[in-house]
């Protein structure tokens, strides 16, 4: 009927592998060069300059251009650019910039830029490959979140009991805190006593059945003067009595609005004042949520430090509970530090350092 039918057909090519046989791959179109900053998050804890590394990969032969950083106006770096000269396809070269942060608490984004005459190249390349699918190439603007955080800590080393997996350890190490990790299997009182503070990873009580038998080691650690921070555990199928030295009832309470107002229930509490003075500004720039699986009821020996809620819901006071136990301090928190610290949120760092410094 002479009707025109338009449809898409993927452009592919075939190769033969001696082991796998015929392989069909998608045809890819790439820019001449792609760039990659060395880290997704950069954190400056003071005014000390840091090295920022940029990798430039050429997808053509004999590429010539310039590479530089794009930063917020109050940041400075040197040199201003490098000449890029790459001879071979697939070759990568690294360029190092020294970055000076501004005063105060600042957040923003860095990106890398390669120029070639009047053309600009801003993309990073991620390759996704699994045996059962064709190779996928993902091009995205190359940017890194950067934070300058004025922080203080009374503690320089901590112990970390592994949970379900998070980036708290890496985040603390980025600001100069020495972290020693422990598994439940090698948890011994004598090995953790030298540490002023012990942090329990997220959902540790959910995934480690042995903790219900070994939690007394944690309580003894606190009783002898340690500060213990237990991060959130899910309430489903978990006996709440095993996660804290005094009774606590976990729930599914959470605050999903990352911008929800936060009230200070005990304004003069040390956790809100030492060594970092916490204000409402420290709850700006949080990502995804405030916290989750807050306790709904707890023993009167606990103090509830914060209150928050999603719009139209009742106030939730279980996000940060603290109690004295023997000579030490016990803290239970459902605040989403496991999300905020890897994202370089300044206020989350300041508050978390107050937790690990509590009682010290």
Alpha helices (H) along the chain: 168-173, 189-192, 204-207, 211-223, 337-340, 346-357
Is the pLDDT at 329 greater than 90? The verdict is: yes
Closest CA to 46 of 145, 144, 153, 157: 153
Q: 212-236: buried (b, 16+ CB within 10 Å) or exposed (e) per residue?
A: eebbebbbbbbeeebbbbbbbbbbe
Give per-residue pLDDT as tens, 59-80: 999 999 999 999 999 999 999 9
Q: Domain check: are 240 and 171 in the same one?
A: yes
Identify the domain boundary among 118, 147, 176.
147
Q: Domain check: are 219 and 82 in the same one?
A: no
Q: Is 242 helix (H, G, I), strand (E, B) or coil?
A: helix
Looking at the domain assignment, is residue 92 inside a domain?
Answer: yes
Confidence of residue 212 (pLDDT cuts 50, 70, 90): very high
Looking at the domain assignment, is residue 10 inside a domain?
Answer: no
Average pLDDT score over residue span 336-352: 95
What whole-number percentage of the chain has pLDDT above 90? Answer: 82
Pairing of strands 328-333, 227-230: parallel
What whole-number distance in Å separates Cα of residue 106 and Cα of residue 100? 12
What whole-number distance in Å separates Cα of residue 254 and Cα of residue 248? 16
Pick the most confident of 13-22, 235-244, 257-266: 257-266
Angle of CA points 350, 322, 153, to nearest 5°: 30
Give residue 336's pLDDT. 98
| 29: CB partners within 8 A, 6+ apart | none
Q: Domain check: are 290 and 177 in the same one?
A: yes
Which structure tokens are listed for 224? Answer: 């002898």
8 A C-beta contact, residue 219 and residue 198? no
Confidence of residue 15 (pLDDT cuts 50, 70, 90): confident
Domains in the chain: how many in total? 2
Q: Domain check: are 173 and 258 in the same one?
A: yes
CATH code for position 280: 3.40.50.880
What's the predicted TM-score (pTM) here? 0.85
Looking at the domain assignment, is residue 9 inside a domain?
Answer: no
Give residue 131's pLDDT. 78
Looking at the domain assignment, is residue 7 inside a domain?
Answer: no
Looking at the domain assignment, is residue 21 inside a domain?
Answer: no
Q: Domain check: are 142 and 169 in the same one?
A: no
Q: Domain check: are 263 and 291 in the same one?
A: yes
Looking at the domain assignment, is residue 40 inside a domain?
Answer: yes
Q: Domain check: are 106 and 205 in the same one?
A: no
Q: Domain check: are 225 and 120 in the same one?
A: no
Q: Domain check: are 173 and 302 in the same one?
A: yes
Per the listing, tokens 């310039």 go with: 66
Looking at the domain assignment, is residue 11 inside a domain?
Answer: no
Identify the domain boundary among 115, 147, 179.
147
| 180: CB partners within 8 A, 6+ apart | 157, 158, 159, 160, 195
Average pLDDT score over residue span 185-208: 97
> Residue 70: how many CB atoms within 10 A of its CB?
12
Q: Domain check: are 221 and 318 in the same one?
A: yes
Q: 142-167: buried (b, 16+ CB within 10 Å) or exposed (e) per residue?
A: bbbbbbbbbbebebeebbbbbbeebe
8 A C-beta contact, residue 110 and residue 76? no
Answer positive or negative: Cα dihedral of 254, 255, 256, 258.
negative
8 A C-beta contact, residue 71 and residue 108? yes
User: Average per-residue pLDDT in the chain?
Assistant: 94
Average pLDDT score over residue span 85-106: 95
Q: Domain check: are 138 and 249 in the same one?
A: no
Q: Domain range spanning residue 133?
A: 33-147
Identify the domain boundary among 112, 147, 182.
147
CATH code for position 61: 2.60.40.10
Looking at the domain assignment, is residue 236 inside a domain?
Answer: yes
Which structure tokens are listed for 144? Answer: 């890194």
Is the pLDDT at 40 greater than 90? The verdict is: no
Q: Domain check: are 141 and 168 in the same one?
A: no
Give per-residue pLDDT as tens, 114-144: 999 989 999 999 988 887 788 889 999 999 9
What whole-number distance in Å separates Cα of residue 331 and Cα of residue 197? 11
């Amino acid at each position: 009927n002479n009707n025109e039918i338009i449809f898409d057909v993927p452009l592919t090519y075939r190769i033969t592998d001696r082991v796998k046989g015929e392989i069909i791959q998608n045809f890819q179109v790439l820019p001449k060069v792609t760039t990659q900053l060395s880290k997704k998050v950069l954190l400056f804890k003071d005014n000390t300059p840091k090295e920022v590394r940029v990798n430039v990969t050429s997808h053509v032969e004999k590429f010539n251009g310039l590479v530089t950083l794009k930063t917020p106006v109050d940041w400075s770096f040197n040199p201003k650019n490098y000449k890029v000269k790459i001879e071979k396809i697939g070759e990568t070269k690294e360029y190092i910039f020294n970055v000076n942060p501004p005063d105060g608490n600042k957040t923003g984004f860095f990106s890398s830029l390669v120029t070639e005459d009047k053309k600009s190249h801003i993309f990073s390349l991620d390759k996704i490959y699994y045996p059962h699918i064709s190779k996928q190439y993902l091009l995205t603007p190359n940017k890194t979140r950067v934070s300058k955080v004025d922080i203080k800590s009374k503690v320089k080393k901590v112990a970390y009991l592994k949970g379900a997996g998070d980036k708290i350890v890496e985040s603390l190490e980025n600001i100069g805190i020495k972290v020693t990790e422990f598994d439940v299997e090698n948890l011994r009182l004598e090995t953790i006593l030298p540490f002023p503070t012990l942090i329990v990873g997220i959902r540790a009580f959910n995934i480690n059945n042995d903790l219900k038998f070994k939690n007394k080691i944690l309580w003894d650690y606190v009783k002898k003067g340690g500060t213990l921070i237990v991060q959130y555990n899910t309430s489903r199928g978990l006996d709440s009595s095993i996660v804290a030295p005094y009774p606590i009832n976990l729930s599914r309470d959470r605050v999903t609005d990352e911008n929800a107002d936060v009230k200070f229930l005990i304004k003069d509490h040390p956790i809100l004042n030492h060594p970092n003075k916490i204000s409402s500004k420290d709850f700006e720039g949080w990502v995804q949520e405030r916290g989750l699986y807050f306790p709904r009821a707890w023993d009167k020996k606990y103090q509830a430090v914060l209150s928050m809620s999603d719009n139209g819901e009742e106030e939730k006071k279980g996000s940060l509970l603290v109690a004295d136990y023997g000579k030490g301090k016990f803290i239970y928190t459902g605040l989403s530090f496991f999300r905020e610290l890897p994202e370089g949120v300044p206020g989350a760092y300041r508050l978390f350092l107050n937790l690990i410094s509590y009682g010290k």
